Amino acid sequence: MVRIGVVVFPGSNRDIDAVNALRVAGAEPVVLWHESADLGGVDGIVLPGGFAFGDYLRAGVIARFSPVMRSVAGYAAEGGLVLGICNGFQVLTEAGLLPGALLRNRSLRFVSRQVAIAPQRLDSPFTRALESRRPLRMPVAHGEGCYFAEPAALDDLEAGGGVLFRYVRSDGSTAGEDDRANPNGSLRAIAGVTNAAGNVAGLMPHPETAVEAILGSEDGLGIIRSLVDSAAERAAAGRRSAVGSAR
Amino acid sequence: MSALAAPRVAEEPLHRRLGLTDDELVAIEARLGRRPNDLELAMFSVMWSEHCSYKSSKPLLRTLPTAGEGVVAGPGENAGVISIGDGLAVAFKIESHNHPSAVEPYQGAATGVGGILRDIFTMGARPVAVLDALRFGDPADPRTRHLVDGVVRGVGGYGNCVGVPTVGGELVFDPSYAGNPLVNVMAIGLLEERLLTLAAAPGPGNLVVLFGSTTGRDGIGGASVLASATFGADEPSKRPTVQVGDPFAEKLLIEASLELIERGLVEGLQDLGAGGITCATSETADRAGTGILVDLDAIPRREPRMAPFELMISESQERMLAAVVPERWPEVRDVCLRWGLPVAVVGRVTADGDVTIVEGGLDPVGRPNPAAVELARIPAKALTSDAIVHARLASPPARHRPAPAPGAAVEGSGGLPERGMDPGAVLLALIGGANLSSRQWVHEQYDSHVQANTVERPGRGAAVIRIKGTTKALVASTDGNQAVGLVDPWLGAALSVAEATRNVSITGARPLGVTNCLNYGDPTRPEAFWQLQEGVRGLGDACRALGLPVTGGNVSLYNESPAGAIAPTPVIGVVGLLDDAATRVGPAFLAAGDRVLLVGSSTPGLLGSAYAELAGVAPEDGPPALDLAREAALQVFIRTAIGRGLVASAQDVSGGGLAVALAEGCIWAAEGRGLGAVLRLPVKGAPAVELFGEAPSRLVVTCRPAACAALLELARQHGLPAEDLGAIGGDRLVIELVGQGATGASEERGSGVADAVDVPVADLANAWEHGLARALGEDGPDRSPGDDGRAGNPPEIR
């Protein structure tokens, strides 16, 4: 069974949601403690939501210095799959593993709400299990989720296929920067991004909390399943090359 | 700051400056057999405060029913615990943080959440839900807006960070709260029964371990100075008595405490709340029949040169006290340090029954060093179980009107200005008003879905939390009726219990138990104490009638300000159990063609209703009667009907009456797209009573046409009147009034006024959605319109 690491920082609180979602998606969750640099040979990594180190000073800015993050950076450099959700996304931008920054919501209030996001590409390791670009419904819950980057950087990001998800209205059209469908005022309605290599991604909404009908939406499962499938494939490829080099 | 630190200019004796009366000083000397020293006096002042000792309410609380099926822990423990099968139990309790929130709304509310969460996980339960019951004055008043904003940010700021979903509660505006808002917070936790941990310090020789945040000067005298006295004009001077919360530390404290309990490393655990170390040591020692020796030098502190009394009564947050077998200490220390929490052995459990405070350190076997100085020695029970109890005087106010007997005719009931009443316009005004409109503006600032268990989000009745690994779900609601309580505190409390349990039953869940937060005035005023006495009597009567135990709660007195006393406000929290979450029934209309039934009949009396507030109540009017036997039958009926799969949706008739209950079913239908209904309502008395009266024990139940006959028959079997009002369909809510009352009323009102309610559901939805933000002046540019991805809303073209 494919093993996906879930990093736990002091203050992580959606780690249990990530563990639950990975189980629903048929993977084996492996808890990774922030003080340990050992990733335990996992096939993929999730940085969960929460308030790592209380989000004191600035969300994610302290967590990035944890021993585990040095290993995560190295793992990502080798092409390992890393998905950051909410606080995990903030940690990845602070660590420089993803472009841009997450500023305080334009309302200057915490926002907890169901939103709709549309995948901008279906060929990413994090969206491959999605059958279409139809809007996905899932909750957001954050105070610092307004995606920001310089206009030129945003142009490059879009040109390079770095925009993974956008907030959309119910008709699928992209949300404006200050309408309700964009819960935090993110520039160009960006809800999630991926790095140039395509193996690291982050998003503010919570697919891991929308994986069962009883919770009001299963739309998040496609994203979690994409990660699990991609991780399984990569693990199999790794084993093949290992066998190859053994010859 | 506190009396001990204050310059001794005012030559009031110390005990008075600490909030103790002369009689109480005499009682203290009797228990000690000598005069207490200043430190001992400070310890007594917090422990004998109303907040810690319940010295006025104890005799009343003893009358409440506490036994019930599955009750594992009841009043006296940190929280009530009830078994729910599968080796699991639910822990729940509600508590107030009214005065701190009035002084400093953000920290007051935040530490209110932190305190009630500690009561839950102290018992070995993981907190799974928070509900906040909030009450403020006029929403148009800038001071109210400041308090609402601070309290909502505080509840969210703490709950969101610790990762416990805030799934429900109330937000009520009433003039009586202008100078004294109410911030009541309920927390619910889940535990494996085998891990139930009690707040006791057994085993002389065991180590007394303090872990969590360090001890500082915040919250000095919180219990005595702030929580147990009426507000004067000097609120700002009370700011140092407010504690400051650190939700990050609380999150670590939750994980560390649950790990210590899971691994069986502690003999007993108690959180430090009001009264700080003094309270935690005396209560745990008294419960175990032991004593505790505390070494002040060992207490980790965040400020230098703290005086002994400051260390002993500081209410610094996020701290826990544990009794630990010496051999376990290394493991306990390691767990705390791994979670980054300061931890220290601060004393020993003793056999002498005293709380003893020394300075100068203990030797390896736990005896004070030869050089150590004994600063205080008080029998633990003198501070807690043997604290003073006052017999207060009670007398009803002159204007008190008892509730009419069930069924009795009420003079002039419904005697409201009917002339010119357009029921549709009244309905829009009610559902768009500050008290009945959507609470979305509040709930969107709370994480309501962390932990991935939230089945029913806040805003549409009772909260529903599934229990992972089972088919079960917990259902919870808080309700409090202050409007009726002002006229008849017995009825106000009984109605509150009836509504809170009804809100749980209409989901199909079986209520398990009741927790309560009794918010009343100054108990030394006979009128205020009478209100408390009547409220407790109403709470007990209602719980006995419904067969439910009271498993715990909190009493908040002295809720008065220069502006006057609050309306007596019993806030009732109820937790219920759904055996199969999939069978849950919601309040939203489901499908066109479904029949709409009214179960239960209206009784006269508009006093205390939202309509009366809008239209101005006739002076001779009274509140509607409550028949507790009928209420019990109604709740059995709806649970049975849901169990047999007969019910499509169920909503109780409460604030705003039948018309508002029907409007909500329409607005919430089809994931917010809305559905209309065409109904005919037989009117016996005044139309206002039938449409907007808030007579209890009534439900709006919808069902497939095929199930209608069976539902009507089931209602008959339970002795409940029931009528088929019509069908769901279209995009308007149409309620035609038929019968004597209607005809007469229309003639009386003259021509040009329709008897029927006939309003587009879209208009109702619009009024409901924006009412609160509008009332608070929060519907500004930063919350421009536009949809939230909800299907069916018109897309915004930009």
Residues of A in contact with B340 (CB under 8 A): 10
- Find which of A8, A13, A212 to mutate to test the B interface (most B CBs within 10 Å of its CB): A13
Q: What is the mean pLDDT of the segment spanning B178-188?
A: 95
User: In this structure, are residues A80 and A195 in contact, taking their beta carbons and an 8 Å threshold?
Assistant: no
CB pair distance less than 8 Å for B784 and A209 = no
Q: Which two tokens stand for residue B240?
A: 């140092």
pLDDT (tens digit per residue) in B410-450: 444 444 445 456 889 999 999 999 999 999 999 999 999 99
CB pair distance less than 8 Å for B449 and A139 = yes
Q: Measured over all CA atoms, what is the biggest interatomic distance in chain A, rounded to whole angstroms?
A: 60
> Which of the residues of B are catalytic?
51, 97
Residues of A in contact with B449 (CB under 8 A): 112, 139, 141, 206, 209, 215
Burial of B412 (0-12, 13-18, 19+ CB in 10 A): middle
Q: Which two tokens stand for residue B223?
A: 């219990």
CB pair distance less than 8 Å for B789 and A137 = yes
Which pLDDT score is estimated for B457? 84
Residues of B in contact with A113 (CB under 8 A): 444, 788
Residues of B in contact with A209 (CB under 8 A): 449-450, 452
- CA B446 from chain centre, in angstroms, equals 17
Residues of B in contact with A212 (CB under 8 A): 452
Which pLDDT score is estimated for B790? 37
A34 is catalytic: no
Q: Which two tokens stand for residue B630?
A: 């009928």
Q: Which residue from B156, B452, B582 is facing A17, i.e. has the nearest CB?
A: B452
The Cα–Cα gap between B107 and B246 comes to 10
Rounded to the nearest integer, the mean pLDDT of chain B is 89
User: In this structure, are residues B556 and B520 in contact, taking their beta carbons and an 8 Å threshold?
Assistant: yes
Nearest CA to B200 out of B79, B322, B89 is that of B322
The Cα–Cα gap between B44 and B160 comes to 36
Residues of B in contact with A46 (CB under 8 A): none
User: In this structure, are residues A99 and A155 in contact, taking their beta carbons and an 8 Å threshold?
Assistant: no
State which residue of chain A sits closest to B452, comparing Cα positions: A209
- Find which of A58, A66, A188, A214 to mutate to test the B interface (most B CBs within 10 Å of its CB): A214
Q: Which residue from A106, A180, A209 is facing B786, i.e. has the nearest CB?
A: A180
pLDDT of residue B398 exceeding 60: yes
State how far residue B82 is from chain A, nearest Cα, in angstroms: 25
The Cα–Cα gap between B796 and B687 comes to 40
Which pLDDT score is estimated for B273? 86
Q: Which band of pLDDT confidence, cut at 50, 70 and 90, is reported for residue B520?
A: very high
Nearest CA to B101 out of B141, B133, B140, B55 is that of B133
Q: Which two tokens stand for residue B424?
A: 């549709």
Radius of gyration of chain A (CA): 17
CB pair distance less than 8 Å for B786 and A169 = yes
State how far residue B790 is from chain A, nearest Cα, in angstroms: 6
State which residue of chain B sits closest to A54, comparing Cα positions: B248
Residues of A in contact with B795 (CB under 8 A): 169-171, 173
Residues of A in contact with B784 (CB under 8 A): 178-180
CB pair distance less than 8 Å for A181 and B163 = no
Q: Which band of pLDDT confidence, cut at 50, 70 and 90, is reported for residue A19?
A: very high
CB pair distance less than 8 Å for B782 and A107 = yes
- The DSSP code for B137 is S
The Cα–Cα gap between A194 and B21 comes to 68
Which pLDDT score is estimated for B409? 46
State how far residue B552 is from chain A, nearest Cα, in angstroms: 29
Q: What is the mean pLDDT of the segment spanning A171-182?
A: 93
> Tokens 């909502």 sit at which residue?
B152
Q: Which residue from B451, B782, B783 is facing A16, i.e. has the nearest CB?
A: B451
Which residues are bridge partners to B737 per DSSP? B681
CB pair distance less than 8 Å for A112 and B455 = no
State how far residue B160 is from chain A, nearest Cα, in angstroms: 8
Per-residue CA distances from B24 to A2, A162, B15, B555, B613 (Å): 68, 72, 9, 20, 44
Which pLDDT score is estimated for B187? 97
Instruction: State the DSSP string of B163-201.
Output: T--EEEEEEEE-GGGTTS-EEEEEEEEEEEGGG---S--
The Cα–Cα gap between B163 and B129 comes to 9
Nearest CA to B5 out of B302, B296, B311 is that of B311
Q: Which residue from B161, B340, B795 is facing A170, i.e. has the nearest CB?
A: B795
State which residue of chain B sits closest to A167, comparing Cα positions: B789
pLDDT of residue B225 exceeding 70: no
Which range among A136-150, B281-295, B394-408, B538-552 shows the weakest confidence by mean pLDDT? B394-408
State how far residue A175 is from chain B, nearest Cα, in angstroms: 8
The Cα–Cα gap between B118 and B78 comes to 9
A146 is catalytic: no
Q: What is the mean pLDDT of the segment spanning A110-124?
A: 96
- Find which of B117, B149, B339, B796 to mutate to test the A interface (most A CBs within 10 Å of its CB): B796
Residues of B in contact with A115 (CB under 8 A): 788-789
Q: Which two tokens stand for residue B660?
A: 């508002």
Angle, vertex CA B271, rays to CA B267 and CA B276, nearest 5: 120
CB pair distance less than 8 Å for A112 and B252 = no
Which pLDDT score is estimated for B562? 86
The Cα–Cα gap between A49 and A84 comes to 8
Residues of A in contact with B796 (CB under 8 A): 169, 176, 179, 181
pLDDT (tens digit per residue) in B672-694: 889 999 999 988 777 888 899 99
Amino acid letter, B174: D
pLDDT of residue B9 exceeding 80: no
CB pair distance less than 8 Å for A179 and B445 = no
Residues of A in contact with B160 (CB under 8 A): 51, 110, 112, 141, 143
First to last CA, chain A: 26
Residues ≥6 apart with Cβ < 8 Å to B367: none
Q: What is the mean pLDDT of the segment spanning A161-190?
A: 95
Strands B80-85 and B71-73 turn out to be antiparallel
State which residue of chain A sits closest to B166, comparing Cα positions: A112
Radius of gyration of chain B (CA): 27
CB pair distance less than 8 Å for B449 and A175 = no
Count other Cβ atoms within 10 Å, centred on residue B748. 11
Q: Select which of A28, A35, A86, A177 is catalytic.
A: A86
Nearest CA to B545 out of B627, B654, B640, B638 is that of B627
Residues ≥6 apart with Cβ < 8 Å to B80: B71, B73, B74, B91, B92, B93, B513, B515, B549, B551, B552
- Find which of B117, B121, B132, B160 to mutate to test the A interface (most A CBs within 10 Å of its CB): B160
CB pair distance less than 8 Å for A113 and B788 = yes
CB pair distance less than 8 Å for B450 and A141 = yes
Q: Select which of A34, A94, A142, A208 is catalytic.
A: A208
The Cα–Cα gap between B277 and A172 comes to 57
> Tokens 């069908």 sit at which residue?
B727
Q: Which residue from A49, A51, A116 is facing B789, i.e. has the nearest CB?
A: A116
pLDDT of residue B271 exceeding 60: yes
CB pair distance less than 8 Å for B452 and A111 = no
Q: Which band of pLDDT confidence, cut at 50, 70 and 90, is reported for residue B232?
A: low
Amino acid letter, B612: A
Residues ≥6 apart with Cβ < 8 Å to A241: none
Which pLDDT score is estimated for B405? 52
The Cα–Cα gap between B551 and B564 comes to 31
State how far residue A210 is from chain B, nearest Cα, in angstroms: 8
CB pair distance less than 8 Å for A50 and B163 = yes
Which pLDDT score is estimated for B788? 41
The Cα–Cα gap between B473 and B451 comes to 14
> For the whole model, what pTM was predicted?
0.93
CB pair distance less than 8 Å for A107 and B783 = yes
pLDDT of residue A62 exceeding 80: yes
pLDDT (tens digit per residue) in A95-107: 999 999 999 999 9
Which pLDDT score is estimated for B793? 37
Amino acid letter, B40: E
Q: What is the mean pLDDT of the segment spanning B137-159?
A: 95
The residue count for chain A:
247
State which residue of chain B sits closest to A179, comparing Cα positions: B786
- What is the number of CB-based contacts under 8 A between chain A and chain B? 141
Q: Which two tokens stand for residue B57?
A: 């309410």
Which pLDDT score is estimated for B661? 97
CB pair distance less than 8 Å for B787 and A215 = no
Which pLDDT score is estimated for B685? 75
pLDDT (tens digit per residue) in B735-784: 998 876 554 444 454 433 447 899 999 999 999 999 999 999 987 544 33
Rounded to the nearest integer, the mean pLDDT of chain A is 94
User: In this structure, are residues B182 and B98 in contact, taking their beta carbons and an 8 Å threshold?
Assistant: yes
The phi-psi region of residue A64 (left if phi > 0; otherwise alpha if psi is between -120 and 50; otherwise beta) is alpha
Which pLDDT score is estimated for B794? 35
